Amino acid sequence: MPSNLPDVVLWSIPAFILLTVVEMVSYRLHPDDEAAGYEARDAATSIGMGLGSLFFDLLWKIPVVAIYTAVYELTPLRVPVLWWTVLLMLLAQDFCYYWSHRGHHVIRVLWACHVVHHSSRKFNLSTALRQPWTAFSSWPFYLPLIACGVHPAALAFCSSVNLVYQFWIHTERIGRLPRPVEYVLNTPSHHRVHHASQGGYLDRNFGGILILWDRLFGSFAAETERPVYGLTKNIATYNPLRVATHEYAAIARDVRSAADWRERAGRMFRGPGWQPRGASPVAAATAGGPAAADATGPAGTTGAPAAAERLA
């Protein structure tokens, strides 16, 4: 068992705190009128969501670890934990992360979890801490790695590395990096696009560490115009409980008012802006649900105009 793998997230917490404080101070000393910057209530909500996720993740990990352990014991394959196999596992985990992340944007019941991370209209290092409390929906995307003989602890290590890497890309204080870096790695510029709410930026740049997956699978967009952050229909609350659950509540309302089982399934498993044919977007928006045409966007995902509650 790879028990010597460090807890990357735990060791990174002091750096998270220090870098966030440094960024806050930088906005005080050198304000940028065009940048989103910081707002006290928004930052407090992001930090509160992050602290809450530490507790809830412990609960969700119990059944997930049980499933992973069972699959690992059943498979005859074993991947040894060596320096070069860890690099390959990091690459494979990042590939699975891309599809998990993309899936959480285009399947509404998964989006209900991930929407939390996109609910801030600010984009700074504290935004990276705005994590969901219902992160039980990602585990199936990594099951192939376990079936191929990756130890659950090794997968947890790789996932932690991926998460820690993504902390520093939540900032407007870093512009574009040298072209080779921008071509291969996920950078602040690429991730600003991912968090933007403009139509051309929707459902783009899903990569965790590498942006190569987006270039390969047609979901890449370069940063051109300045991003407008948040959802296309923003939530007017700083209440952590509502931030964590608002899309689940919207799904429940839509399922309850659906005309038949086909529509109920669509409300849960189609895109966040999906509407049954003939539905009135205005009526759906009034009812509190997403209001978007059943259209396909340029990345192969469900399109969502400004009335729909979805992310950038």
* Mean of pLDDT over the chain: 88
Give CA separation, 19 vs 119, 128, 250, in Å.
Answer: 22, 12, 35
H helical segments located in 30-82: 40-74
- pTM to 2 decimal places: 0.88
* More confidently predicted of 206 and 284: 206
Provide φ and ψ at 211, rounded to 5°. -95, -5
Angstrom distance (rounded) from CA 71 to CA 149 = 9
Instruction: Please state, in angstroms and rounded to a whole number, the distance separating the CA atoms of residues 214 and 204.
Output: 8
Helices 40-74 and 240-257 sit at what angle, rounded to 10 degrees? 70
**For the chain, what percent of residues have pLDDT higher than 90?**
78
Predicted confidence at residue 307, as pLDDT, reads 34
- Give the highest mean pLDDT range of 68-77, 270-279, 289-298: 68-77
* Count of Cβ atoms closer than 10 Å to residue 86 Cβ: 18
Is residue 34 scored above 60 in pLDDT? yes
Average pLDDT over residues 10-16: 88
Q: What would the pLDDT profile of 168-192 be if each residue is shown by its tens digit?
A: 999 999 999 999 999 999 999 999 9
